[in-house]
Amino acid sequence: MKYVPLGSSGLSVSRICLGMMSYGDSPSRRWQLDEDMAEPIVRRAVEAGVTFFDTADIYANGTSEELTGRLLRKLFARREDYVLATKVYYPTGPGLNDQGLSRKHLMAAVDASLARLGTDHVDLYQIHRFDPATPIEETMSALHDIVRVGKARHIGASSMYAWQFAKAQYTAEAAGWTTFVSMQSHYNLLYREEEREMIPQCLDQGVGVIPYSPLARGLLAGNRDRDSERRTLRAASDALADARFDTHADADFTVIDTLRAVAAEHGLPPARIALAWLLRRPAVDAPIVGATKPHHIDDAAAALEVTLSDDDIARLEAPYTPHPVLGHS
């Protein structure tokens, strides 16, 4: 495993982050694993040197945070030995103030997350989306107070337009408040719209990028094909993948076909090549990898050692065509 600072902060993270959305108890996501099934996979990640773990209060109705906290306490000797990230924004209850980025919800949500995680602080507290209904001054002031009292060490953001991110950062800087150290973007070989504005902004401002869905919800690992065959339980039941990726689009499957060809030439699985490409993109610190089988961890860790030539990279990138902006709501 390799380790890097997260953006321009002093927080060291493993170059692979394990996404914990795959674990928990949610009837609508049949592919999620319970704690007994998740433990050997998380243990494999820890043995591989992964120290960075990302969850959210909305995942599996909060059970992902509960499971994450229990497993990390079991697998690490000290709280200081791992980096724990969670997120806030989406509804976690029926009330009008059970969602969004108001001061009321942020203060309640961070305490609820800490209770579920079984810790007194998270290392990275992220806003899951931009909240147009709340003044940005209110959000950034509340996040600053959460850091100031020690409930979070750093703050991050996820999936928004570059102008929204710039507005939030400027507001915090102007007031002397805590600024974001990371951006959790939707970014992979099939979706590269972040390269237009968000990635350059993060590079300029020293913000670390921690891409989610690095394998396009399994498409880059081969969980579907051109004739719509669904090869895994997740592929057959993941409505969000259906919404975000047109699995009949010739352009997307041309990218996938090229990925498979490059992978075959290297004698490696396509997932490993797709991750190797992403790990070498500017500003990317740690792709957030979802794993439901032990070999998913092995592929992710091994991607750090893959060498792609300039020709490999050019071939992988050439078939891409512009996509509608996805994932900001």
Q: Amino acid identity of 268?
A: L
Neighbour tally for 140: CB within 10 Å: 26
Is 89 among the catalytic positions? no
Asked if residue 117 lies in contact with residue 87, where contact means CB atoms within 8 angstroms, the answer is no
CA distance linking residue 255 with residue 314, whole number of Å: 12
CA distance linking residue 244 with residue 317, whole number of Å: 20
Strands 3-5 and 12-14: antiparallel
Asked if residue 156 lies in contact with residue 181, where contact means CB atoms within 8 angstroms, the answer is yes
Give 57's contacts (C-beta < 8 A, 6+ positions apart).
65, 86, 87, 88, 90, 92, 109, 112, 113, 116
Closest by Cα among 107, 126, 113 to 66? 113
Helix axes 250-266, 310-317, angle to 10 degrees: 160
Helix axes 294-303, 270-279, angle to 10 degrees: 40
- The residue annotated as part of the active site, out of 3, 23, 59, 187, is 59
Closest by Cα among 278, 174, 172 to 220? 278
CA distance linking residue 246 with residue 184, whole number of Å: 22
Asked if residue 143 lies in contact with residue 178, where contact means CB atoms within 8 angstroms, the answer is yes
Asked if residue 149 lies in contact with residue 110, where contact means CB atoms within 8 angstroms, the answer is no
**265 pairs with which residues across the strands?**
none
Residue 246 CA from chain centroid, whole number: 21
Active site residues: 59
